[in-house]
Amino acid sequence: MAVQAALVAPKIDPRSEFAGILKEHTAFGNPEGSGGGDRLNSWFDRLLIQSGTEMDGTVLMLLSVMGSIFLGGLAFVIQENLLTTAMGGMVGFVVPIAVLMFLKQRRQSMMLKQTPDMVDELARAARTGRSLHDCFRIVAEETPEPLGSELRTCSRRLRFGLGFEDALSSLPERTGLVALSVFSTALIIHEQIGGDLVEVLERLARTIRDRLTFLGRLKTMTTAGRATAILMLALPPAIFAFFVIRDPAYLNNLMAAEWGRRVTILAVVLDVVGSLWIVRVLKTSQRV
């Protein structure tokens, strides 16, 4: 009876067995939501993950609020103007998020440069006759940061008993790179249907290198356009801040007139629309 009971005992899901030791992550977005608020919160969650920081979302929000209070209070002490205080508060709130966006961009660039060599190393390891799990574990241990930490996370999931589809499912989202999405898909398909893994990996490495070459040429050819776009984004707020700092009563006098209010509101709306348009074009042309 004991042997029979052991044979019919239900299998334990490795994910539930190790779920208690995983670090909780605060998420603001609802992946299943389709509203504008859910999309904005999901973007915020992805920014936290893809920047590579261990900071929790609540801590980042507190930093933004503290930055808003600090710069807003500093502007009020210097100018004693409510409009200038509001501008300082807005800038202080955005600064921590802008820093995270910079860290995300730098991390993605470093990982993209590491990807071809990592794929080549995996192909060389697979040529020795080892299993794909062993090859992936070896490459994950030898790959330096920041790509190595993401690969080691997937390797630990494989050791817990998960398949490649479950272990690599979050890699594209955690990195935000198209190249690693293709890499994950190639390994998942190979695990399911088999094939010549070495040839697939070698072709993938060549494709990623060609893509890096193309992106480098594109960046060189669009340097003047990107510089112009940055100037267009930075010049209007800089001019506005210059006049406000030079004359604290400038904005009050401008808003006191009917035509001044209308022109100012129209200028702000057009500047925001143009900024969003330029950022979207730049983001599309530099998609990695």
144 falls in which pLDDT band (50, 70, 90)?
very high
CA-to-CA distance for 257 and 252, rounded, in angstroms? 9
pLDDT of residue 45: 84
CA-to-CA distance for 187 and 197, rounded, in angstroms? 8
116 falls in which pLDDT band (50, 70, 90)?
very high
3-30 per-position pLDDT tens digit = 343 333 344 444 444 444 444 455 555 5
Degrees, nearest 5: CA angle 156-161-165: 80
Q: Quick check: 285 pLDDT over 70?
A: no
Closest CA to 53 of 117, 102, 4, 124: 102
43-57 per-position pLDDT tens digit = 888 888 888 887 877
Taking residues 163-177, report their average pLDDT: 88
Predicted model pTM: 0.75
Contacts 24+ apart (CB under 8 A), 245-249: 245/79, 245/84, 248/79, 248/80, 248/81, 248/84
Closest CA to 48 of 112, 109, 101, 108: 101
194-242 per-position pLDDT tens digit = 778 888 888 989 988 998 888 888 778 777 777 777 787 788 878 877 8
235-262 per-position pLDDT tens digit = 887 887 788 777 777 777 777 778 877 8
